[in-house]
Amino acid sequence: MSELTSAQKDKLMADLQLVMADAEALLAATADDAGAGVAELRKRVQATLSNAKTGLIEVQAAVVDKAKAAAKVTDEYVHENPWKSISIAAGAGLLIGLLLGRR
């Protein structure tokens, strides 16, 4: 599978959080059902949700750490190579301006 973009990762994280919130709401809505099978199912779902929340928090922390590391490396590069960074930014701006100007 190809690498996910930052926007795709953010969307995936938001979707997972929404699914977990919906599952918790469903569990709360079925709290009054007294059947043995339902109680066992609720217990398993709660355990699974707890594990998923923990995993989601760990993944989110890892993504934040990677983003901070990338920002730090970028900052160091720009400070070590200011003219090269300015040239790259100017070239990218010129290219984007030319592409937008063709419309």
DSSP structural state of residue 33: -
The answer to whether the CB of 20 falls within 8 A of the CB of 49 is yes
Between 34 and 100, residue with greater pLDDT? 100
Q: pLDDT per residue over 44-94, tens digit each? A: 777 887 777 787 788 888 888 888 999 999 899 889 988 998 999 999 999
Task: Give me the helix-helix angle, 82-101 and 36-80, nearest 10°.
Answer: 110
Question: In the chain, where are the structural domains located?
Answer: 6-101
